[in-house]
Amino acid sequence: MSNRIHLHLLSDSTGETLEMLAKAALAQFEDADVVRHFWPMVRSRQHLERILPELKANPGLVLFTLVNPETRERLEQACTQSGLPAVPILDRVTEALEKALGQEAHGRPGRQHAMDQAYFNRVEAIQFTIAHDDGIGWEDWEEADIMLAGVSRSSKTPTSIYLANRGYKVANIPLVVESPPPSKLFELKHPMVVGLTTAPERLVQIRRNRLLTLNEERQTDYVDNERVKDEVKFARRMFADNGWAVIDVTRRSIEETAAAVIRLYNERKARGTRQGAKPI
C-alpha cells in the first residue's frame, strides 16, 4: 500500500496555524510521502474557484480554515462532488470555546494575526534578540526576559530566535574558558539565566560539520575531544556555582529546548523567584 498522499492546506489568512497543526499531526506517521499544496489568503469565491481544479487534479486530503460562509460552503460542496475528505480543523476547538465562553466566535479572516499590542511586542522581542546575540550589548542584558549561556555550538542562537518569535526578549553569551564573560552576567536580576549543555561527543560532531561548511579541515582545539570535554565541564561548573537552570540539548530539537525554557520561565514567574539550578 502506498503511503503517498496529496495534502491541500487552504487558509483565509497566512496559513501559519494550519501548517503548524498539519506538521504536528504528520509527525505521528512514519514514512509518509506527503505532497503539500499550500493555498493561503483565500478570501473570495473567485480565488477559490481558481484553486478547485488543482484539488481535482491532485485528489487527497483537504484541511482548511475558512470563516467566510460562502467560500467555505463552496469548498465543501466541491470536495463532496469530487469525493475528497475536507476537514475544518479549528471547528471543534471554536465550538468548545463558544460553549465555555457563552458567546459566538467572530467570523473575521486572519483575526489571530491582527496587529495588536502582542504583535508589536513580538517584533520588539525579535529586534532585541538579534541585537543581543553572541554576547553583544551586555549593557542592556537586564532588559531581557531570558539569558542563555553555553559553549560554542550549543544551540544558543537558534533557540534565542525561536523564543523571540514567541515574544520573549532573549540575550545569549558564549562561554569560553580563556575569556571570562562580563561580570554583568552574574549580577542579573530580571532575566532568567539558563545554561545550555550537550554531550561532548555530539558537540565535537557538530563543530566538525561546521568547519567542513567553512572548508576548514585543519585539526584545532575547537574539535579536540579532551579540550571540548574541559569546555563542557567549565560551563557546567559555572551553571552550578550560580544556581542557574540547566537544559541538556543533546537529543532535543530547537522547539523542544525552547519549550523547556518557556516552562522554566513560567514556573519562575509564578513563584516570583529566581530559578534555581535544575538539569532538564
156 in a labelled binding site: yes
155 in a labelled binding site: yes
**Smallest Cα–Cα separation from 181: which of 189, 191, 173?**
173
Reading the block at residue 31, the C-alpha cell is 514514512
CA 142 to chain centre: 24
Measured distance CA(106)–CA(194) in Å, rounded? 40
Q: Yes or no: say if 72 and 42 are a contact pair by the CB < 8 Å rule.
A: no
253 in a labelled binding site: no
151 in a labelled binding site: yes
157 in a labelled binding site: yes
Name the one residue in this structure whose C-alpha cell is 544551540: 155
The Cβ of residue 8 has, within 10 Å, a number of other Cβ atoms equal to: 23
For residue 7, how many C-alpha atoms fall within 13 Å in the half-sphere facing its CB? 16
23 in a labelled binding site: no
Measured distance CA(6)–CA(140) in Å, rounded? 49
Helix ranges (DSSP H) in 83-135: 91-101, 117-131
Q: Yes or no: say if 196 and 258 are a contact pair by the CB < 8 Å rule.
A: no
Cite the annotated binding site for ADP by residue number.
150-157
Cite the annotated binding site by residue number.
150-157
